[in-house]
Structure 1
Amino acid sequence: MTPATTRHPVELRYATTSDVDTRPEASRVLLALEGSRGTVGVRGKVREPALFRDALAATLGILASDLRYQGRDRTAYLAYLMKQGKRATAQIWEAQKAFLDASLQTEEQKDTVLDPVLTVDPDQVSLEVFSRDESAYARLAFDSALFEGREAAHGSTFLDVPKDLMAKVDRLRTYVPLSLEAHVALPAQEARAPRNVEVPHAWLRGFLQVQSAATLPASTCTLAPIDLYNLLFALRTRKAKTAPRALRFELIPGAVPRLIIEPWELVLECHASVYTGTVPAVVRTFGRQRLAALARLLPHAQNIRVRLLGPGLPVFWAVDLGQATLTLALTGWTESGWSSAAAFDVLMPRAVPDGLPERLRQRLRTEGPLSFEALAAQAGAPKDAVRAALQLECLRGRLLYDIAQETYRPRELMPTPVDEATLRYGNEREARAHRLLGDGGPGAGEVKVTKVHEVVGEGTRIQGEVVDREAVRSFFPSFTLDLEGRVKEASCGCPHFRRSALREGPCEHMLALRLAQTRQRAEQEALRQTPEGRQRITAETRAYVRREPSGQEQVYRVSLDGKVVAVEWGPRQGASRQQKLWFDTDAEARTAYFSRLESLAAEGYIDAAASMM
């Protein structure tokens, strides 16, 4: 059975159903918790009913969101054609009806996901949800000070969410006193029959790797609530019909961040604190329409912190609501962007010393939430090993990283740790792709990236050669990444691609090429900072940008290809100029290439090459 079809069985036992009790004199939110994890619960009077209602409703909205394409049921239309005497026979109608019934049944099984996770800690109560389409993860945390007369039993368990719970929460009136009761134990006669849930490993993999991504180093900037309002207003009043559709961040040390909305190149100057990073950066993010889920929180928002990991990785929006915090993570992987397998590769921890994860987890259990620096100071291991151990525990579902407070917290997602080996690969083809790269197991091959061509205005063309020793032959896969990171114009000579092209997903040779290209790029970024590493670079393209006082953005694209240095410059929206320089040796061309890059950096241009991938 392949990882894509493997399911994780979970038995959920609820004594009752979550509900909202609204009366003229008082309202009460009753949350039913799963009872097999021991005594977990919290109760108390809510001090700010409006904040509690809006934050909980927004979180439940993220849980129910599904932005995947929904096909239309054409059965009624075919029946109409039959009545009109058109060429739609009864056999076609019956066949399509049977197909739709089977598809809906399969879709229901595929969409089975875990219930939200509720965690009660001494300092807060948190709720974690993950959307059905794996596009958004949210963690809502209420401070203990929000509840008057708080009574709590600490721990983690699942929360029952019926379909009408969000509508009932939405009808709460803020002028009526409100109380919360989340509990497990109820009289035996009210107990419900246990519910067996088989969660696809693909869904569980995304849920856990979002939290693993939160542990990675990132660029962080702060926005004001008015900045988020301006962004949402601009997106609501415009509709992009053509690519690219990214939200671009321009981060310059000592200056306030800028938000640029593509494809209109609309610049939004932010009004919060300046960017405190040491290196300027331009980061392109996708999934901006999902930010509409935060609109309801604008009246309560005090500031918004955005954590940017890099291309293809999740983006975290932490909204400070005073006595509550909502952290929204927008994932970088989609069904149409299978190149995100490279992003998952980054999220897997490297070598971890034996016993280190258990020691760190035990310390968090004893001392409570701790920052990475506090954990690394007394871990007795290098910081890279400590970070990898924490990342591994997040993948196992035993820890989570609280972005709002920048601390690690213990949280048991399952009664037993999730085996990270089952989450390593999304499907069997991805596992074979890693074997081709020599990541262990039989069938190791050789993967070469032969050409990476930047096509201005279209994307990046990647070509390579894969030596498949199991097939005893070589393949030459190639594909184009468009400006939104999606794959198009792919080709390969293997039987899988000849049979179904990309309809059943990419072949292992394309995945191996994409992974090899991503790893090669990461190695080049590290090596190009040293003189020895620069001598190994014979071909690459870098893009540098600078925004003029008038608001117009100037773009320089500098390419090195053997003995040739090509320069293209001009405004982003407008005609550009080009220049090519030929040199006698590769060394002379390399020296001129890096001298041009250094001069651009000295003139205030920002290296934006990473954001283009």
Structure 2
Amino acid sequence: MPEQQKSTSYTYTQQFSGVSFTQIAPSQKVYLFSSKSASGSASIKIAAAEVTAFREAFSGLLGVIEPGFGFRDTLNPANTFELNPNNTERAKEREGLHRHIKVHNKKKDNKVWLSLDPIVTLTDEGILFEVVDKRGLQLAAYMLKKSGYTGNVESGSGHIEAGLDLVQSLGSLSGRSDLEIFIGSDFDLDTETAQKYTVEHAENLDFIEKSFPVPRAWQRMSLQLQASSMLDATDFSMAPIDLYNIVRALHLKAGDKKMRILLVDQQQPRISIEPWDWSLVTTGEAFSGKTQQIELIEYAAISRFQNVTPFVSSISLRITGEAQPAFWTLKSEHFTLVLGMSNFRPTNWTKGLMLNKSLPRNAEAAQDLGSAVSIDDTNRTAVTHGIQNGAYSINVDGQSFARSFLGEADFASLVYRSGQERIAYELVDNNRVAVQSTVEPNGRRVLMTALPQKFVLKESKDKELKAEEVIALKIALQKQINDRPKRAYSKVTESQRNFQFSEPVFQPRLAILSNGATRLPECACTYYRKYGDKKTCAHVQALYIQYLHDVDRADEGSVELTSRMLVRLPSTAKESELVHAIRLQNKRVIEEWGSFFELNNQTCRRQVLAFNQISEARTCFFGRIADLEKEGFVNAG
């Protein structure tokens, strides 16, 4: 079985006739140069009252990709790839920067690449701008509705040139006069402006060419993040002032932070930022749905849009799951702004596999659903597949628009993140993974050991046991209670190759904590010995994939490792909530209670109950949950 997946590399190549810029005098204008391969054009005017809203929204959109406008060679820090705008010949300087990148990539193995330019989609419903950051962990979409402008729009799509010139000059726009926006490949400019921003008067320069390789991992992650906008999600709304207060708290409190969102049916959502025990009860609509608590890992990026809050009428947050993509949506009468975040790092391979389960990919080509699609249950699957293949935009206000995200990229090779992941899925599909698991005394479920055999007290009705036999049975029972179960390793079997005498059998190991986090991956294969846990081997991944399948089919009556959190909300916003965290760990029931702040800092009260049998611990666990619910606590998952 091959260790690597062969695929065709994708090179981002776009040609522009100028550098996008903003003009302040004699009138406010924004010129956005589209690529030579783009279609459509626009010449619109935004009323003075809406110019400030456009400035803040568009600046926030470009802020997502701004960190990727430059690159510094880590092997040679003196070799920088950053834009140093020249006041007289910015187009020529921009071409020199990208020519320098192409020369470097031909000579060096460490390939330089920058943020991809924004994609603009010109439609009858409005103008949509989309960007994805260089990490592939954040995206932003800005839909300027047709009610927010006047003018002519010719339908089409393509990339528009973006750089520090545009970002720095947008701040000069004001609401004192109307704003004209031009989108196209060529504009009628005066000689001085054309000489500065276009290639029209430059010698030996026909166009600005941006060309650099795009990593395959980024391609797949960015497409999965876009397609996540189609997943079923838990959503709730808040008032603009709530977002302002959240962003203000993030600015005032430095350091590592966690955002916990407590959603209780028919109650106002409660947002807490740890570790300072800062809480906010939102002032929007009451939440309707399943009571739960969700933690957001990557959320600070919403601060980029803090200046937009005065111009929006509603704000909503869609969360697809714990440590899964989340989408902030800011709506106004004339625009919709969406910020998507993956909510997990690329190194967290377990969350990546969980996202694969929600968004399976295949190598089939995307269907032609038209230029604009209103999303419903009949076409949701087809639109999701179209987004995964870069043919359609993300879900904005229940609509998706046709456009090309990565051009001629090899989408068939993006079914898996890596060759090891492909091998892992093939092992599971071919039934070559045998999972054995149990819950250790320390509360870890280890995917390598067998479930403990049930102890049966063999008594004969016809014969009374002697005293010494009863003592021996009691000793055996106590030994089974205290001792760890007998080891029986999980097995992953590969197909036999021509030079092998038998099928290779591996015994990978993986520990899973009560909160779902994984620890201690281990395998004896050559790949793991070489890379360790930096690049998880196919056998450990196959073990976890099979575990996810088994969990879906598991009976609640056989659960051995799980946790619940029950919360009683305070009567006033200034008081802290009372939280009971209950964990079932094999033959133990662990209960901790206090505020979220006390639980996070381990200053809460704690009680541990130990039982002789797992069934007894399970009965106590579910009984304690029922008792707390009778006392007014709500189950937050």
Same fold (TM over 0.5): yes
What is the Cα deviation at residue 205 of structure 1? Answer: 1.1
The one-letter code of the counterpart of 1:556 is A
What corresponds to 1:428 in structure 2?
419
Q: Does 1:216 align with 2:231?
A: yes
* C-alpha distance in structure 1 between counterparts of 2:72 and 2:511, whole Å: 27
What corresponds to 1:248 in structure 2?
260
For residues 289 and 449 of structure 1, do their structure 2 counterparts lie closer, same or farther at Cα, with a shift above 3 Å needed? farther
* C-alpha distance in structure 2 between counterparts of 1:496 and 1:19, whole Å: 50
What corresponds to 2:531 in structure 1?
500
For residues 224 and 593 of structure 1, do their structure 2 counterparts lie closer, same or farther at Cα, with a shift above 3 Å needed? same
- TM-score of the superposed pair, with normalisation by structure 1: 0.78
* C-alpha distance in structure 1 between counterparts of 2:432 and 2:162, whole Å: 48
Q: Does 1:198 align with 2:210?
A: no
For residues 113 and 63 of structure 1, do their structure 2 counterparts lie closer, same or farther at Cα, with a shift above 3 Å needed? closer
What corresponds to 1:568 in structure 2?
591
Q: Deviations over 1:563-596 (max 9, x none)?
A: x35141321413333243636684x665554444
What corresponds to 1:529 in structure 2?
none
SS at match of 1:437: helix
What corresponds to 1:541 in structure 2?
563
SS at match of 2:164: coil
What corresponds to 2:507 in structure 1?
475
* C-alpha distance in structure 2 between counterparts of 1:179 and 1:541, whole Å: 57
SS at match of 2:237: strand
* C-alpha distance in structure 1 between counterparts of 2:264 and 2:133, whole Å: 33
Aligned ranges for residues 101-500 of structure 1 at < 5 Å? 108-109=111-112, 111-148=113-150, 150-185=151-186, 190=200, 191-192=206-207, 194-240=209-255, 245-277=257-289, 279-349=290-360, 358=367, 361-362=368-369, 364-365=370-371, 368-373=372-377, 376=378, 386-403=379-396, 405-414=397-406, 420-438=411-429, 445-448=432-435, 450-451=437-438, 462-464=446-448, 465-470=490-495, 472-479=504-511, 489-500=520-531
Q: Deviations over 1:448-503 (max 9, x none)?
A: 252467979xxx665433423357122232356798x8866543333333333234
The one-letter code of the counterpart of 2:329 is A
The one-letter code of the counterpart of 1:547 is L
Unaligned runs of 5+ in 1: 77-100, 377-385, 525-532
* C-alpha distance in structure 2 between counterparts of 1:236 and 1:461, whole Å: 39
What is the Cα deviation at residue 427 of structure 1? Answer: 1.4
What is the Cα deviation at residue 506 of structure 1? Answer: 1.9
Aligned ranges for residues 547-558 of structure 1 at < 5 Å? 547-549=569-571, 550-558=575-583
* C-alpha distance in structure 2 between counterparts of 1:569 and 1:307, whole Å: 30
What corresponds to 1:84 in structure 2?
none
For residues 553 and 497 of structure 1, do their structure 2 counterparts lie closer, same or farther at Cα, with a shift above 3 Å needed? farther
What is the Cα deviation at residue 304 of structure 1? Answer: 1.1
SS at match of 1:128: strand
CA contact (8 A) 1:33 1:184 kept: yes
SS at match of 2:127: strand
* C-alpha distance in structure 2 between counterparts of 1:307 and 1:158, whole Å: 28
CA contact (8 A) 2:68 2:115 kept: no
What is the Cα deviation at residue 43 of structure 1? Answer: 1.2
For residues 5 and 487 of structure 1, do their structure 2 counterparts lie closer, same or farther at Cα, with a shift above 3 Å needed? farther
CA contact (8 A) 2:7 2:410 kept: no
SS at match of 2:562: strand
Unaligned runs of 5+ in 2: 79-103, 189-197, 201-205, 449-489, 496-502
The one-letter code of the counterpart of 1:577 is R
* C-alpha distance in structure 1 between counterparts of 2:441 and 2:145, whole Å: 49
What corresponds to 2:460 in structure 1?
none
* C-alpha distance in structure 1 between counterparts of 2:250 and 2:71, whole Å: 20
The one-letter code of the counterpart of 2:279 is V
Aligned ranges for residues 16-31 of structure 1 at < 5 Å? 16-23=18-25, 25-31=26-32
The one-letter code of the counterpart of 1:163 is L
What corresponds to 2:59 in structure 1?
57
Which deviates further from its counterpart, 179-188 or 551-560? 179-188
The one-letter code of the counterpart of 2:507 is F
CA contact (8 A) 2:18 2:208 kept: no
What is the Cα deviation at residue 536 of structure 1? Answer: 4.3
The one-letter code of the counterpart of 1:569 is E
What is the Cα deviation at residue 321 of structure 1? Answer: 3.5
* C-alpha distance in structure 2 between counterparts of 1:290 and 1:167, whole Å: 19
What is the Cα deviation at residue 436 of structure 1? Answer: 2.5
For residues 265 and 3 of structure 1, do their structure 2 counterparts lie closer, same or farther at Cα, with a shift above 3 Å needed? farther
For residues 184 and 545 of structure 1, do their structure 2 counterparts lie closer, same or farther at Cα, with a shift above 3 Å needed? same
CA contact (8 A) 1:118 1:126 kept: yes
What corresponds to 1:36 in structure 2?
37
What is the Cα deviation at residue 421 of structure 1? Answer: 3.2
CA contact (8 A) 1:302 1:320 kept: yes
What corresponds to 2:465 in structure 1?
none
For residues 338 and 156 of structure 1, do their structure 2 counterparts lie closer, same or farther at Cα, with a shift above 3 Å needed? same
* C-alpha distance in structure 1 between counterparts of 2:316 and 2:521, whole Å: 38
For residues 4 and 292 of structure 1, do their structure 2 counterparts lie closer, same or farther at Cα, with a shift above 3 Å needed? farther
* C-alpha distance in structure 2 between counterparts of 1:104 and 1:523, whole Å: 53
Which deviates further from its counterpart, 542-551 or 167-176? 542-551
- TM-score of the superposed pair, with normalisation by structure 2: 0.75
SS at match of 2:593: strand
